[in-house]
Amino acid sequence: MKTALISGITGQDGSFLAEFLLQKGYEVHGILRRSSSFNTGRIEHLYFDEWVRDMKQKRTINLHYGDMTDSSSLIRIIQQVQPDEIYNLAAQSHVKVSFDVPEYTAEADAIGTLRMLEAVRILGMEKKTKIYQASTSELYGKVQEVPQSETTPFYPRSPYGVAKQYGFWITKNYRESYGMFAVNGILFNHESERRGETFVTRKITLAAARIAQGFQDKLYLGNLDARRDWGYAKDYVECMWLILQHDTPEDFVIATGEMHTVREFATLAFKEVGIELRWEGEGVEEKGIDVQTGKTLVEIDPKYFRPAEVEQLLGNPTKAKTLLGWNPRQTSFEELVKIMAAHDMKFVKKLYLRSLEK
């Protein structure tokens, strides 16, 4: 049985990856950051505390307290778990927030990656442990060519992108310096019903569900013209695993090869909950209007614009398709929006019913 260690296991990708690896027969361990409130919501269906839950239920994943800003905890956990594979998914991953906490973003996303690699090296596990580093399309930022591939020059436009660029190069450096199987997966935007509520896609589907059910009046967005290559996170974790099963350690772009605007995403999400939007006006004056009622449901708020905007990201997944046999369009853009909108319609209704019980 193979053993995997996932940092960032409580996040969107970590939860899907944990499920995927369990289905593959792995023993799964995760790094959990200490918090005064529970942050294991996405994985609680996988995690059974033997003292609280049914004593007969086998514990399916094992959680360890640690932090990407604390190298001693990483060394301790890796030594204890002795993983065959490490998936480093932990990060301060919100681009807009990285402008507010640039130093912490660098500590967790850049130096955190170094700490993980160095922990494996210090423990003499360079030949035993394969390492997957979660890289990002934000590396391309002010894009130098369209679409972006493994050879496209980087031009990050946020503290998050810059920190992740360090993570990318230090992973490559350790691979070339110490012969480690350490690889980067350059993931383009990947969303799901488990996406954090502050990310624009989930913000849209939640707002559409709330507006449709009468719990919210309006949705405020930033740049409607921003174009992204959006895929389904559940499909992308399969590619992470495939990268570590490849014969040689190589870096791969993980993307769909399709691009859509924030406006398109919003239009589709509202349509899924039964509301047809008509767009009027330009720039900050643009509005999304309910065709049936004439009511303005979407407006622009300049506070959501980034200090340095990334206008378009479009990945070229040819290498992953060819060498790994991965299908980047397993879930279409329309299906992705449908999954998220349907989930949030139920989610909002459940919250309302729960509030009535109090």
Beta bridge partners of 231: 190
Whole-angstrom distance, CA of residue 144 vs CA of residue 159? 19
Which candidate in 47, 87, 160, 236 is catalytic? 160
* Residue 60 and residue 48 in contact, taking contact as beta carbons nearer than 8 Å: yes
* Catalytic hit among 19, 126, 138, 191: 138
d(CA 227, CA 148) in angstroms, rounded, equals 13
Phi, psi of 187 (to 5 degrees): -85, 130
| Cβ atoms 203, 195 nearer than 8 A | no
Task: Answer yes or no: 69 catalytic.
Answer: no
- Give the distance, in angstroms, between the CA of residue 180 and the centroid of all CA atoms in the same chain: 25
- Whether 47 is a known active-site residue: answer no
Contacts of 264 (CB under 8 A, 6+ apart): none
Active site residue 136: yes
Is the separation of the CB atoms in 348 and 197 below 8 Å? no
Quote the tokens at residue 4.
Answer: 């995997």
Q: Which of 136, 152, 171, 331 is catalytic?
A: 136
Which residues are tagged catalytic?
Answer: 136, 138, 160
